[in-house]
């Protein structure tokens, strides 16, 4: 149980709010009222709907699909997409802060929202024809439809340009064949945004409904990370895709990469949320837990850990915020997004590892969120471009030399 601690960092925040007591650099001042309102709404929802069930969902490896409707109601799907296309009509910082609060709850929860908004709604909004937009976006925005995004294949992960999934022109439709791997939400999805090569070898995007003949999405079992999020394959055996469902004008990897930029941006914010939850827990725990006759927080080694965690989180917050201001002007580059995703996820993982140790034996139990965040972040550091791939992107940006091959 938490004592009522008179501590400056605790004091500044809303009293008794375990989700907010550490805005050391007053980053809050950089937000406007709309951002703060969005953050509060999501925070309240996570506390009411997610916190009570998340440890159980995680332990049982069950995705709480009923949360999709709630995510839609709080505006977590496509917060920065236009309202008339199912989005929230907010700016990029609001989108980021919503992802932060979701991931403070659980990275799997944020993944559900990221995929739906940034990897499914965004490409349909950006690249589909008007009829397809009208057909799918309102239902995705309201959570009536669940979407997934199929880029990664069993043999092609970091190198999606080598994908073998393909479409062939069959007159009034295309025929889709191939398989995708590691697809968030696929076993429960109503539709998938799929990337496949056409007969010229160009990567094309399309909306494929899960009820169509030849479509299957077996679940991937045995995950020890993101256990509250469902992941599966996508298998296409001669699936007939109507021509109007294929994005008309976008060809090549630019299409999927633009979606990934949007989602990676959200992850840069989201990871801060996971780090905040770990830090908050470590601070509380070490202030309360006594060894050698005094609180753990009174020892220099603990203070070094807390001070460094807070410093790194603050740097991550500022990186995300600056990226958000650039994104609002349409100026955030893929390389800048890579840097922020890479830094912030790694930072969150380091914070989680330190926090785990600071909780001693209790740190390995589900009494605290630490192990769950730590295990989740092992996926987050791999998906949407691995830690190493983002480093290579930054390296290419600064040297002009491609070290991928
Ligand atoms: C839980 C989860 C959910 C996911 N959800 C989705 C989804 O919804 N949709 C989707 O399309 N994908 C999804 N993915 C896939 C994810 O994006 C890939 O796992 C990721 O891109 C890495 O691909 P890979 O696993 O095949 O690893 P590989 O590409 O085989 O990489 C293995 C290792 O080699 C390193 N490596 C690769 N190439 C180089 C190089 N040139 N130089 C140096 N090192 C290199 C990598 O950094 C990595 O450490 C998900 C993955 C997970 C784990």
**3-state SS, one letter per residue, for 187-247:** HHCCEEEEEEECCCCCEEEEEEECCCCCEECCECCCCCCCCCCCEEEEEEEEEEEEHHHEC
Express each pLDDT in 331-382 by its tens digit.
999 999 999 999 999 999 999 999 999 999 999 999 999 999 999 999 999 9
Residues 287, 290, 291, 293: is their CA dihedral positive or negative? positive
**Which residue in 213, 230, 228 sits closest to 175, CA to CA?**
213
Cα–Cα distance, 324 to 60 (Å, whole number) = 36
Best mutation site among 120, 158, 346 for ligand 1, i.e. most ligand atoms within 8 A of its Cβ?
A: 158
Is residue 120 in contact with ligand 1, taking CB distance under 6 Å? no
Q: In this predicted structure, what is the pLDDT of residue 23?
A: 83
pLDDT at residue 7 is higher than 80: no
Report the DSSP beta bridge partners of residue 381: none
Contact 163/197 with Cβ under 8 angstroms? Answer: yes
Where in the chain are all domains bearing CATH 1.10.540.10?
A: 8-141
Whether the pLDDT of residue 3 is over 50: the answer is no
Question: pLDDT digits over 239-262, tens only?
Answer: 999 999 999 999 999 999 999 999
Catalytic residue among 101, 153, 354, 384: 384
Long-range contacts, 13-21 (Cβ 8 Å, 24+): 18/280, 18/284, 19/43, 19/46, 19/47, 19/101, 19/104, 19/276, 19/277, 19/280, 21/280, 21/283
Indicate which atom in ligand 1 lies nearest the CA of residue 115. Answer: 8
pLDDT band (50, 70, 90) for residue 5: very low
Task: Take atom 30 of ligand 1 and give the residue whose Cα is closest.
Answer: 157
pLDDT tens per residue, range 319-328: 999 999 999 9
Ligand 1 centroid, distance to 391 Cα (angstroms): 14
Q: How many CB atoms lie within 10 A of CB 28?
A: 14
152 lines ligand 1 (CB under 6 A): yes
Residue 388 CB–ligand 1 contact under 6 Å: yes
Q: What pLDDT does 8 receive?
A: 40
Given a cut of 50, whether residue 137 has pLDDT beyond it is: yes
In this prediction, residue 22 carries a pLDDT of 66
Contact 220, 233 (CB under 8 A): yes
Indicate whether 18 pLDDT > 90. no
Q: Is the CB of 389 under 6 A from ligand 1?
A: yes
Instruction: Give start-end residues of each CATH 1.20.140.10 domain in the chain.
Output: 254-399
Residues of the chain with CATH 2.40.110.10: 147-245
pLDDT at position 24? 86
- The answer, yes or no, to whether residue 10 has pLDDT greater than 70, is no
The pLDDT of 23-43, averaged and rounded, is 94
Name 149's bridge partners. 193
Residue ranges in 232-299 assigned as alpha helix (H) = 254-288
Class of domain 8-141 as given by CATH: mainly alpha
114 Cβ below 6 A of ligand 1: no
Give the side-chain half-sphere CA count within 13 A for 31. 24
Question: Bridge-partner residues for 245, per DSSP?
Answer: none
Chain centre distance of CA 295: 36
Does any ligand 1 atom lie closer than 6 A to the CB of residue 338? Answer: no
Q: What pLDDT is stored for residue 160 in this prediction?
A: 97
SS3 90: coil
Rounded to a whole number of angstroms, the distance between the first and last alpha carbons of the chain is 53
CATH-assigned architecture of domain 147-245: Beta Barrel (2.40)
CATH of segment(s) 254-399:
1.20.140.10
Catalytic site includes residue 384: yes
How far from the centroid of its chain's Cα atoms is residue 37's Cα? 21
Q: HSE, CB side, 13 Å, CA atoms: give it for residue 347.
A: 29
Percent over 70 (pLDDT), the chain: 95
Average pLDDT over the chain, rounded to an integer: 94
Question: Nearest residue CA, atom 1 of ligand 1?
Answer: 379
Confidence of residue 123 (pLDDT cuts 50, 70, 90): very high
């Amino acid at each position: 149980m938490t004592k009522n601690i008179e501590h400056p960092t605790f004091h500044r925040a809303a009293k008794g709010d375990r989700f907010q007591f550490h805005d050391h650099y007053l980053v809050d001042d950089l937000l406007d009222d709309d951002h703060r309102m969005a953050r509060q709404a999501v925070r309240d929802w996570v506390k009411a709907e997610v916190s009570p069930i998340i440890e159980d969902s995680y332990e049982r490896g069950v995705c709480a699909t009923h949360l999709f409707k709630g995510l839609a109601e709080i505006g977590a799907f496509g917060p920065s997409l236009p309202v008339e296309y199912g989005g929230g009509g907010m700016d990029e910082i609001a989108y980021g802060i919503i992802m932060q609060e979701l991931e403070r709850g659980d990275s799997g929860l944020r993944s559900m929202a990221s995929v739906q908004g940034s990897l499914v709604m965004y490409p349909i909004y950006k690249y589909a024809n008007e009829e397809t937009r009208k057909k799918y976006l309102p239902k995705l925005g309201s959570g009536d439809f669940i979407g997934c995004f199929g880029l990664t294949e069993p043999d092609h992960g970091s190198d999606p340009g080598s994908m073998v999934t393909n479409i062939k022109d069959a007159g009034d439709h295309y025929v889709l064949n191939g398989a995708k791997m590691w697809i968030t939400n696929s076993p429960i999805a109503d539709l998938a945004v799929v990337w496949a090569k056409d007969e010229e070898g160009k990567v094309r995007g399309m909306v494929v409904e899960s009820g169509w003949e030849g479509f299957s999405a077996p679940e991937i079992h045995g995950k020890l990370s993101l256990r509250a999020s469902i992941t599966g394959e996508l298998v296409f055996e001669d699936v007939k895709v109507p021509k109007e469902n294929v994005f008309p004008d976008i060809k090549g990897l630019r299409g999927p990469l633009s979606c990934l930029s949007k989602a990676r941006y959200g992850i840069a914010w989201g990871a801060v949320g996971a780090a905040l939850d770990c830090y908050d827990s470590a601070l509380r725990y070490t202030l309360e837990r006594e060894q050698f006759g005094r609180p753990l927080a009174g020892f220099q080694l603990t203070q070094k850990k807390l001070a460094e965690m807070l410093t790194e989180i603050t740097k991550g917050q500022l990186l995300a915020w600056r990226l958000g201001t650039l994104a609002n002007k349409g100026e955030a580059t893929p390389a800048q997004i890579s840097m922020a995703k890479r830094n912030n996820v790694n930072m969150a993982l380091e914070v989680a590892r330190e926090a785990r140790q600071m909780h001693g034996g209790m740190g390995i139990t589900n009494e605290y969120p630490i192990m769950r965040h730590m295990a989740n972040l092992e996926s987050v550091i791999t998906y949407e471009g691995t830690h190493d791939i983002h480093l290579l992107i930054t390296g290419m940006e600064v040297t002009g030399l491609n070290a991928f091959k």
